Structure 1
Amino acid sequence: MRTQALTDAKALLRACETGVISTISYNLRGYPFGSVSPFISCSEGKLYFYISDIAQHAKNLEKDSRMSLTVFHQAEEGDQNAHGRVTVVGDATPIKGDKAQQILEQYVLRFPEAETYKQAHDFKIWQMDMVRVRFIGGFGKIFWLEQEEWEAPASPWDFEAETGMIAHMNEDHQDAMALILAHHHTVQDDAPTMTGVVTDGFYIRSQDKNYYVPFENVCTKHEDVRMELVRLTNRARKSQAA
């Protein structure tokens, strides 16, 4: 049950692209301060935000690195408490140099509107390192997940290899991604684009929205990504033909 909770919590986090971030207010002397922010996550489980220095939560983090991120799927009807939610608790620090630039490029792929933010020099990439995770999968499914459980190996491919995978899929295999998107999310789009790859899945962008598709197996080497994409394509094709 605990292993399934970890899998479900990570899947929920991957599927969400915006969450409620809570920081410790400096102006209000210790009161919690909530805001909403887009984010991306890496294979290891670290979270990344692109935040302006003038934002209140950025000012708070400069004084106290502690923060949390809460994500959930809003219930279309019925009791919201019956639906899953994840709160990641950790510490945030701004990052610089090549790593920051690479994360920013990945971020802009997922959130193209952020391209305009790059013209403002007061935006920074912040990295959040997890301390503990609270996962509630519904009534009676409540877990604290520890750091050693949550953290996973880094992607076995580098930034250039990931960029190449994305370009290849977008140039040559939009038909396959259209099948996968329709199968997993019932979204019809003849020209979706890949916007990111992690070891346990990948992201498709369609009609100004990102969709996460999990792999059946976690990828431990570069070549595994192709195998997982082929598997997903074949499964989607069989479903369509049924």
Structure 2
Amino acid sequence: MQPTSNFNPSHLAKSLLRRSRQGALATLMVDSGDPYCSLVNIASDVDGSPILLISRLAVHTKNVVADPRVSLMLDERAPGDPLEGARIMLLGKAEEAGTEQRKVLRRRYLNAHPSAENYADFADFSFFLIRPSGLHLVAGFGRIVDLKAEQFLTDVSDADGLLEAEQGAIDHMNADHRDALGLYATRLLAAEQADWRCTGCDPDGLDLAADGKTLRLDFPERVTSPDALRKMLVRLADEARAKPRA
């Protein structure tokens, strides 16, 4: 089955990875090798790879430690029949974060799940990163595609400056420019009025959240430095202000 001509599977897969906050994690049971599935909260690393915060007391964590092969099901949570919405089944290996990596994963995860700060540093909890090898995307009739990791992960090899400045930019936008975030959401993404906040940024776009809902604002061009990010955010705010109300 060939995808329809107006379908961009890479873009949809990237968007789902960035917007998803929960998913079904499938692991392999330690003793039997039987499949085991559990509901987990997720966030995304700077390249889009899923981040997990899981307890070593949980069965799925014991499974991952014994065999890192996992799959992760994510869906759009669209109203109506859930089978009519887009979903992805991601394949990969889950690896526990080292000391330096943990700082980045912790920061990005807590931006997406602020309440997790209450237990993120408990001794039995650890951050894991799923390194994707590929995914299977289902988005309706004629829209079923297998993608390799390089087709849906964001290239960050040239964006060290942006990544170093990311948290400062997030904090600045949330503290001083909530009006602009609201304009991005309502004028550019046709979302409802809410107290939208920024939860992450990367070379491809900006992540927003409010009242349990998430949005992805794609940049028209890649952004790899703090100065380029500032200019892009000003440009998008101007475009949002100039756009008529729906």
Report the equivalent of 1:14.
18
Report the equivalent of 1:89.
91
Please list the CA deviations of residues 114-162 of structure 1 after superposition, one character each: whole Å capped at 9, or x if unmatched. 0011342111010111111111121111111113333432243365411
Distance in 1 (CA, whole Å) between partners of 2:6 and 2:93 is 24
Report the equivalent of 2:141.
139
Equivalent residues of 1:88, 1:133 under 8 A apart: yes
Deviates more, 1:17-26 or 1:223-232: 223-232
Equivalent residues of 1:19, 1:39 under 8 A apart: yes
Among all aligned residue pairs of Structure 1 and Structure 2, give the percentage whose two residues are the same amino acid. Answer: 29
| Structure 1 runs not aligned, ≥5 long | none
Residues 199-210 of structure 1: pairs in structure 2 closer than 5 A: 199-210=203-214
Shift of 1:228: 2.7
* Structure 2 letter corresponding to 1:71: L
Equivalent residues of 2:184, 2:237 under 8 A apart: yes
Equivalent residues of 2:21, 2:42 under 8 A apart: yes
Residues 31-42 of structure 1: pairs in structure 2 closer than 5 A: 31-42=34-45
Distance in 2 (CA, whole Å) between partners of 1:123 and 1:231 is 41
Distance in 2 (CA, whole Å) between partners of 1:185 and 1:36 is 30
| Structure 2 runs not aligned, ≥5 long | none
Distance in 2 (CA, whole Å) between partners of 1:219 and 1:95 is 27
Q: CA RMSD in A?
A: 2.2
Please list the CA deviations of residues 81-136 of structure 1 after superposition, one character each: whole Å capped at 9, or x if unmatched. 33211111000110121220221022112111100113421110101111111111
TM-score by length of 2: 0.87
Report the equivalent of 1:60.
63
Is the alpha carbon distance of 1:185 and 1:3 closer, same or farther for their aligned partners in structure 2, counting shifts above 3 Å? closer
* Structure 1 letter corresponding to 2:138: I
Aligned length: 239
Equivalent residues of 2:18, 2:207 under 8 A apart: no
Runs of 4+ in 1 over 4 A off after TM superposition: none
